[in-house]
Amino acid sequence: MAKVFIYPATSLILSDLVARFGHKPLGAALGIRERIQTAGVDSPPLQITPEEPKRGLKYAAVEVPSGVRGRMAIYGPLIEEAEAAIIVTDADLAFGCMGCARTDELILFSLRQSGIPILELKYPANEEEGVQFVAAIKKFLDGLENGGET
Amino acid sequence: MSRKVRIAQLSCGPEYSGVQKEIYEAAESVDAEVFFPDIALADVERAVDTFGLDVRSADLKLMIARGKALVDGTVDADGVFIGTCFRCAEAAIVRNELRRYIHEHSRLPVVSYSFTERTTAGTLLTRMEALTTIAHRRALLAREEQTGITMGVDSGSITTKAVVMKDNEIVGTGWHPTTEVIKSAESAVADALEMAGLTREDIQAIGTTGYGRFLIGKHLGADLVQEELTVNSKGAVYLADHQRGSATVIDIGGMDNKAISVIDGIPGTFTMGGICAGASGRFLEMTAKRLGVDITELGPLAMKGMGVNVPMNSYCIVFGTQSLVNALAAGSSREDVAAAACHSVAEQVFEQQLQEIDIKEPVIMVGGTSLIEGLVYAMGQLLQTEIVVPPHSQYIGAVGSALLASGFIKGE
């Protein structure tokens, strides 16, 4: 079972696909769950405190907006942990979105720099493309080292 | 029990900056609630297309859609808070255009703010308080005439001012440096009463404003304790005799600056800056001290100088003072240095704050710094307009408080 970073990280469909094909999806749900389960932190809605943008300094300089650094404090460690990644570009908002275009750029750059296997796909525009989309993801996940046959 | 004031939040990034809690707390402390306007996903792209600003960040698209819903009336709110990350260019464009759009197409009061992870509820308090005041107290803010005998006290960061008004006239004033907050207020009040020939018992209602408003308000048993954004707007248009129509109020204070776009005496959009003291009255105070003149002499001195002769382009009060010292050491005249300091402050306010509101004439400058004519001149040059400095402009907060307090006289 490989740890697969998903982009958009908030995509439940992508997360579900990765899990169904026997791998561990690394995305927003994981990053946020960890914070919500941290006792003693009271910073709704995501339990992100002003400490996160400071931790994000590991991934982006101080002149980068706090919102980008806060996001990177969540996604940066997941990218470091990832053994593979699936990137879906031009996704519909309903499929999942990261909110901030600057964070998008930094995450995609970090993934491409990491040297892990990456599958980059364009969001399907019709049913036929949708079938090919799922098939490509399945093929990629099946081919991962230590990948799970489902 | 009155309904809570509902403030619509249009934002990008506060939850990831860890400051959403601070926004909630600031709103709660002034009995308001912050909410996110509900938007159907299908409406987002449509709203962005109609608005015409092709941004890439999805949260900014959502901001635009929410702003449009407020203007279209599909979502009800009493005020709008627009917040985006400091240093984000894409967000700054959306923040400004959305603020302008809401201001032009609705009657909703709007405050915009760019936050960092260091933003606290305390920083946001005055802004939230102003939004709730505008929403809750429109009837009070509509008051154009002072009646009876009332007193206003403005407990500022550098000075404390008191004004006694009687039948729409200022009959007493008091001014003291703010040292111990209550003692300074007591001294200012005593001077104002003495000048008016009245006693505390004669005062029918009291209003307080400024940083120390809560403490002073409690101490004096004030009828009205109100933030300085609405109070100063009211005081400015009252003193400038321009209570109807549009106006712009600029108050360069000791610790922060206010730029307010006013309609019929009520703030429409406003900013309250204070990231750097280089653009504050404190810098001018330090300049006067370094030049060996009283702050009251700085303005006339600046009028005799040419600011362009002295390079002074730092945003920082420390480096700004260093530029000033270097210029004097290099042989610049005191007049030129004084003019450069005034220009530097005016330019920073112009660049950092006046870009965030709509400048409409008349431009009224108020507060203690409005008496520094070199500063008023520099601002006029930058805005290419004649700045109005009304009489008693240094007592603006106290006058606004006294005026509004008359709404609390029994039988009013």
Q: How many domains does chain B have?
A: 2
Q: Which of A36, A49, A52, A66 to mutate to test the interface with B (most CBs of B within 10 A)?
A: A66
Of B114, B136, B158, which residue constitutes the final position of a domain? B136
B151 CA: distance to closest CA in chain A (Å): 42
Flag whether residue B19 sits within 8 Å of chain A, measured between CB atoms.
yes
Q: Do A100 and B55 touch (CB under 8 A)?
A: no
Whether residue B195 lies inside any domain: the answer is yes
Q: Do A67 and B14 touch (CB under 8 A)?
A: yes
B121 with B173, same domain: the answer is: no
B145 with B174, same domain: the answer is: yes
Q: Do B16 and A102 touch (CB under 8 A)?
A: no
B183 with B151, same domain: the answer is: yes
Whether residue B305 lies inside any domain: the answer is no
Of B81, B110, B136, which residue constitutes the final position of a domain? B136
B121 with B28, same domain: the answer is: yes
**Residue B314, pLDDT score:** 60
Report the range out of A39-53, A126-140, B256-270 with the highest average pLDDT: A126-140
The pLDDT of residue A149 is above 60: no
Flag whether residue A97 sits within 8 Å of chain B, measured between CB atoms.
yes
A107 CA: distance to closest CA in chain B (Å): 14
B17 with B129, same domain: the answer is: yes
pLDDT digits (tens, 9 = 90+) for B314-339: 667 777 788 888 888 888 888 888 88
pLDDT digits (tens, 9 = 90+) for B164-181: 999 999 999 999 999 999
Instruction: Categorize the per-residue pLDDT at B296 as very low, low, confident or very high, splitting at 50, 70 and 90.
Output: confident
Q: Give the 3-state secondary structure of residue B330.
A: coil
Flag whether residue B20 sits within 8 Å of chain A, measured between CB atoms.
yes
The enclosing domain of B181 has a CATH number of 3.30.420.40
Average pLDDT, chain B: 90
- What count of Cα atoms within 13 Å lies in the side-chain half-sphere of residue B3? 7
Contacts of B212 (CB under 8 A, 6+ apart): B155, B156, B160, B178, B181, B185
Q: Domain span at residue B161?
A: 141-229+396-408
Rounded Cα gap, residues A50 and A96, in angstroms = 25
Whether residue B347 lies inside any domain: the answer is no
Flag whether residue B90 sits within 8 Å of chain A, measured between CB atoms.
yes
Q: Do B12 and A68 touch (CB under 8 A)?
A: no
B99 with B193, same domain: the answer is: no
Q: Cβ contacts (< 8 Å) between A74 and chain B: which residues? A: 16
Closest CB to A102: pick one of B19, B24, B88: B88
Of B87, B121, B136, which residue constitutes the final position of a domain? B136
User: Angle CA(B13)–CA(B19)–CA(B23) in degrees, nearest 5?
Assistant: 105
Of B107, B113, B112, the C-alpha closest to B135 is: B107
Q: Cβ contacts (< 8 Å) between A46 and chain B: which residues? A: 15-16, 20
Q: Do B58 and A99 touch (CB under 8 A)?
A: yes
Domains assigned to chain A: 3-142 (3.40.50)
B82 with B175, same domain: the answer is: no
Of residues A29 and B7, which shows the higher confidence score? B7
Q: Do A67 and B118 touch (CB under 8 A)?
A: no
Phi, psi of B227 (to 5 degrees): -60, 160
B10 with B67, same domain: the answer is: yes
Contacts of B320 (CB under 8 A, 6+ apart): B278, B283, B312, B314, B341, B344
Whether residue B267 lies inside any domain: the answer is no
**Residue A147, pLDDT score:** 46
Rounded Cα gap, residues B212 and B190, in angstroms = 17
A60 CA: distance to closest CA in chain B (Å): 13
Flag whether residue B85 sits within 8 Å of chain A, measured between CB atoms.
yes
**Residue B297, pLDDT score:** 85
Flag whether residue B117 sits within 8 Å of chain A, measured between CB atoms.
yes
Whether residue B360 lies inside any domain: the answer is no
Q: Does the N-terminal peptide bond of residue A44 adopt cis geometry, omega within 30 degrees of 0?
A: no
The pLDDT of residue B195 is above 90: yes
- What count of Cα atoms within 13 Å lies in the side-chain half-sphere of residue B159? 20
Flag whether residue A66 sits within 8 Å of chain B, measured between CB atoms.
yes
Rounded Cα gap, residues B213 and B228, in angstroms = 9
Q: Do B57 and A64 touch (CB under 8 A)?
A: no
**Residue B277, pLDDT score:** 62
Q: Cβ contacts (< 8 Å) between B15 and chain A: which residues? A: 45-46, 48, 70
Closest CB to B16: pick one of A51, A67, A97: A67
Of B188, B341, B358, the C-alpha closest to B252 is: B341
Q: Cβ contacts (< 8 Å) between B16 and chain A: which residues? A: 46, 48, 52-53, 66-68, 70-71, 74, 99-100
Flag whether residue A35 sits within 8 Å of chain B, measured between CB atoms.
no
**Residue B56, pLDDT score:** 94
Whether residue B356 lies inside any domain: the answer is no
Flag whether residue A11 sits within 8 Å of chain B, measured between CB atoms.
no
Kindly identify which residue of chain B lies nearest to residue A53, measuring between CA atoms. B17
B129 with B194, same domain: the answer is: no
pLDDT digits (tens, 9 = 90+) for B333-376: 888 888 888 888 888 888 877 877 878 899 999 998 898 888 89
Whether residue B151 lies inside any domain: the answer is yes
Closest CB to A50: pick one of B18, B86, B91: B18
Q: Cβ contacts (< 8 Å) between A105 and chain B: which residues? A: none
Rounded Cα gap, residues B242 and B264, in angstroms = 8
Q: Cβ contacts (< 8 Å) between B21 and chain A: which residues? A: 42-44
B131 with B50, same domain: the answer is: yes
Average pLDDT over residues B43-48: 92
**Residue B161, pLDDT score:** 95
Range with lowest mean pLDDT among A92-106, B164-178, B225-239, B280-294? B280-294
B162 with B41, same domain: the answer is: no
The enclosing domain of B71 has a CATH number of 3.40.50.11900
Whether residue B32 lies inside any domain: the answer is yes
Q: Cβ contacts (< 8 Å) between B17 and chain A: which residues? A: 48, 50, 53, 65-67, 70
B29 with B108, same domain: the answer is: yes
Instruction: Categorize the per-residue pLDDT at B401 as very low, low, confident or very high, splitting at 50, 70 and 90.
Output: very high
pLDDT digits (tens, 9 = 90+) for A41-69: 666 677 788 899 999 999 999 999 999 99
